[in-house]
Structure 1
Amino acid sequence: MTTTFRTSRQFAATPVAVFAAIADATRIARWWGPAGFSNRIAEFDFRPGGRWLFDMIGPDGTVYANESVFVSIEPARQLLLRHVCQPHFQLSIELQPLAGGTLLLWAQNFDDDAVAEAVRHIVEPANEQNLDRLAAELARGAG
């Protein structure tokens, strides 16, 4: 058994616009992670098999090293990535067109149930904050 944290959000933007905020290193650096965090991206090879190497910097200055691999990418439809450092998980982001926007489905599947339970109190609110920040990035636009 593995633990999956799921959330969803409707955005008043097309799947193409939402995907554009995911696929661009400059834009994802502005919104990825919980409230108050910033990102320093060392590598963002946005293609299947490509690496995403970055540091998330917490509000207190703590640096959290992250490494992921893009497993599959379907433009304006779905992204699957594998977090290859601790904690190990797979993240699926699915975009479904809606009248007037997009439904984003977020599923973060942890390899280890004990690890997932230990971080649940962080992950659940952080995933919501991540999508709050994505909404702000979409409102900001591509500039």
Structure 2
Amino acid sequence: METTTDREIVISRVIDAPRELVFEAFTEVRHLSRWWGPSGFTTTTSSFDFQVGGAWEFVMHGPDGTDYPEWITWTEILAPERIAMLHGEYRDDPDAFESVLTFGAEGERTRIDMRTVFPTVELRDEAVEKYGAIEGGRQTLANLATFVEEWVGEVVR
């Protein structure tokens, strides 16, 4: 059995919102564009098709003005428990990585686990060292938490 721990990044967070709403924040581009990415980044979507085999093509705009073209295809969707995706800079990117997000209900809260597996140790290390992938992932989940918790507040009002 192959082990991937040397090629993985795993980031978790508990969000003070029901699992269905946290999951929904991933399913509609109008939500994703409000929280996706690390702090200071914005996202411009060119296409979005949330279904297995569908793709999300977008550009992340860094706070320094750098544009990062991105492409995600959904490989598994099990609402509201799990989303699996392949994430690269473009379709058929040989350096694309796999991510699996699991959404666990903890009462009215949600535990989200984001497990990313890179094709090689070198690509994982580059993502961590050059692009700050661990801190960026933590910031992305923090942005998700802020968005969903504010959204829950709006829904309750």
Say yes or no: TM over 0.5: yes
Aligned counterpart, 1:5: 9
Aligned counterpart, 1:23: 27
**Is it true that 1:102 corresponds to 2:106 in the alignment?**
no
Aligned counterpart, 1:123: 133
- Shift in Å, 1:65: 0.3
Q: Any residues of structure 2 matched to 1:66-81 within 5 Å, and which?
A: 66-81=70-85
> Unpaired runs of 5+ in structure 2?
none
Counterpart code for 1:60: D
**Is it true that 1:140 corresponds to 2:150 in the alignment?**
yes
From the CA coordinates, give the structure whose radius of gyration is larger. Answer: 2
**Is it true that 1:44 corresponds to 2:44 in the alignment?**
no
Q: C-alpha distance in 1, partners of 2:63/2:85?
A: 25
- What SS does the corresponding residue of 2:50 show, helix, strand or coil? coil
Cα RMSD (Å) of the superposition? 1.5
Q: Could you tell me the TM-score, scaled by structure 1's length?
A: 0.94
Deviations 1:87-136 (A, max 9, x none): 41011110011123111111011112111112213101000000110011
2:19, 2:108 within 8 Å by CA — same for their partners in 1?
A: no
- What SS does the corresponding residue of 2:128 show, helix, strand or coil? helix
- Shift in Å, 1:140: 2.3
Deviations 1:1-42 (A, max 9, x none): 641100111111111010111111011111111110000001
Q: C-alpha distance in 1, partners of 2:99/2:47?
A: 18
- What SS does the corresponding residue of 1:60 show, helix, strand or coil? coil
- What SS does the corresponding residue of 1:103 show, helix, strand or coil? strand
> Unpaired runs of 5+ in structure 1?
none
**Identical columns (%):** 26
Which structure shows the bigger proportion of residues in strand conformation?
1
Aligned counterpart, 1:112: 120
Q: Could you tell me the TM-score, scaled by structure 2's length?
A: 0.86
